[in-house]
Chain A
Amino acid sequence: MSAIVRGNIRMAMSSIKSTKWRSFFTMFGVVVAIVPVLTILSIGEGVKRQITDQVVGLGSDLLTVRPGRLITGENAIAQFNALSGYTTAGNFSLKDYEAVQKVEHIKELAPLSIVPGAITVNDKPIRDTFVVATTEDLPSLTNYKVQHGGFFTDKEYGRRSVVVGRGAAEKIFGEGIPLGRAFEFREDTFVVSGVLERYETAPLSFSADLNNAVIMPYKLAQTIVGGEAPPIYEMLVRPSSEDTADQVRRDVTAALRETRGGEEDFSVVTQAENKRVVNRILTLVTALVSGVAGIALLVSGIGVMNIMLVSVTERLHEIGVRKAIGATRRQIIGQFMSEAIILSCTGGVVGVLLSFVSMYFVRLFTNIEAVITWDAVLLVFGLSLVVGVVFGSFPAMKAARKDPIEALRHE
């Protein structure tokens, strides 16, 4: 580093120190612009990774069958439709499920259905839990693991034994392992035969969070609801092998179209497609927030410029003295530019540090595992540098162009 650059930095530091509050608030403007950018970028990155992990965990051959049509067109973003992802959803009936069951080359199949009703223990209703009806294939389809006890089998549905998610177990029974304990649901008594491991679903993914669910066999649900079977909101299908995946997809589509009167008001999607939809949503959100943050950054840059203009005016006499003893225009520019850059870059550094704090809170209050990547850190730091350079140059030029004698006369 040359002597002049070091001198400029030293001068800038002392000038910033001499106007502490002013500099602090200018910097704060930059911080306020930086933190949301980095936070949103990190959340986006984190969610993408979580979704990817989930896709890898579930296996890319898993098919998800949902009512409603998935928009896969490339201009989903332009149409602002990416946020809806699926158009108006309906439900699958038992008939649809049975049709899918008949399709060949299916290794595992699990319908997911919410059984209406409230859970009570000793006549006390339990809130925030729900009952899901499915088949014994669910654990292997979704990577859920049974921590205590065992998962039910479809054949023994008459035993009224159910599996509870970790969260539901705590809500219904409090601390401890509730194996063998009972609760009431729709005026019937059920016994817990298994407890699932705590499982984090990726945010923004379409799979249900079964942490807070009580899971019972679908056949059992059919008997307790009586009459109409509970509607199915999703079916998970795993083909027997990679080779048959396409065929299964076609066959499931064909079977469902037939049962639903020839209309394709449902979608059979692969994990890759799921991921793409989520990514599209994330890209849209990130773009929108970045736009807002860009404006914030612009405003903070104007703040830096204003303060630098004030600084130049205040120090006209100093500029005059410096010119008299031989500072060139470039050296004066260097001095004021360093000051602006130090202001905005300090804001950048503080912004990055605060983003780590905000990340911590995001982690604390949501299931998003935000990730701050080096790329993102470099990007926002670069942005703050650009703000300093762009908005510092005008005041610096103004200072450098001052006539030495005019500047000297200014007290």
Chain B
Amino acid sequence: MIRLEEVSKLYGLGEAMTLALDEVTLSIEEGEFVGVMGPSGCGKSTLMNIIGMLDRPTHGEYKFNERSVAKLRTTRQAKIRRDSIGFIFQSFNLLPRLTVLENVALPLEYKGVSARRRIKRASEILERVGLRHREFFYPGQLSGGQAQCVAIARALVNDPKIIIADEPTGNLDSASSRLVMELLGEIHKSGNTVLMVTHNPELTRYATRVLYMHDGSIIHDENTKLGEIAPVARRVMYGKPMTSEEDDLAGVSALMSAIPGADEEKPEDTKKKRTRKTKTRRKTTSRRRKVAAK
């Protein structure tokens, strides 16, 4: 249902130009739970945004349900976002001035559903995520986990085929993360396609397929069994290869070293990576270390 053919995305101009996606070719079928992993700045979010029609590719072709997205009018794209795609963001992105119920019902409002049916449907969905009793709260009054569940309810309210989750557990503690992931797993089991960006290899348990990205390219694509951590991701968690100081400077993460065959690309990668900021690199590496320590 989703086909990307040599899709590239460039940001900026001239000297400041960065390549966020580098000729990515990808196809995702209905019913898959795709986990996307990779260091920060590798283009995971850009990929999600392009698939979610929030962003346009600079080059290449994106076909959604066999139709070229570039040729769709903005209104049509908005309607696809409304009816077929549900977004879940790391920072929840609930509207603070609307109640939980209103937030969840908003996509229905844009669809033109009557107020009574809107409330009924939104309540049902909130029931499903276990937050019926928080209907009239404002997002500011919820815990992170609750807010993310509300965001999931909002994403689900129009029965979309695809759920796009960009680090849905990034801002949550482990208990809330578990809750959110169980919900996403359930959604997947009921037949939806789920795309999820994550930094946590543990979460690949829920996926049926894991993509590893680096510098705007998909460098590894593997199918995994539900309930099992993806093989490559597991190697990151339990395997020996920790990143060395040298690797750190070169911006190569543990994940990279864990991927078989990635070694050959390494010298080339290093050159590219040198232009990146050291700061982000440090952050990612330390986070990975923490994960590894678990």
Contacts and interface: CB of A to CB of B under 8 A. Distances in A.
A408 B115 contact: no
A405 B113 contact: no
Interface in B72-102: 74-75, 78-79, 81-83, 87, 93-95, 97-98
A94 to B, nearest CB: 83
Interface residues of B, number: 30
B87 A324 contact: yes
B112 A325 contact: no
Interface string A296-329: 0000000000000000000001101111111111
B110 A326 contact: yes
Closest 3 CB pairs of A and B: A326-B82, A328-B78, A405-B55
Interface in A374-409: 403-405, 408
Contacts, number: 73
B49 A405 contact: yes
Contacts of A323: 54, 78, 81
Contacts of B155: 325
B81 A2 contact: no
Contact of B110 (A18, A317, A325): A325
B81 A15 contact: no
A22 B5 CA distance: 49
Interface of B: 49, 52, 54-55, 74-75, 78-79, 81-83, 87, 93-95, 97-98, 106-107, 109-115, 118, 154-155, 158
Select the residue from A3, A4, A331, A403 with max chain B CB neighbours within 10 A: A3
Interface string A367-379: 0000000000000
A276 interface: no
A318 B74 CA distance: 18
Interface of B is mostly: helix
A323 B110 CA distance: 10
Interface of A: 2-4, 6-7, 11, 14-15, 18, 317-318, 320-331, 403-405, 408
Contact of A405 (B54, B79, B83, B112): B54
B112 A4 contact: yes
A55 B111 CA distance: 63
A4 B97 contact: no
A326 B158 contact: yes
A408 B55 CA distance: 11
A325 B87 contact: yes
B228 to A, nearest CB: 32
Given A7-B109, A321-B95, A326 B75 contact: no
A318 B93 CA distance: 8
A322 B95 CA distance: 9
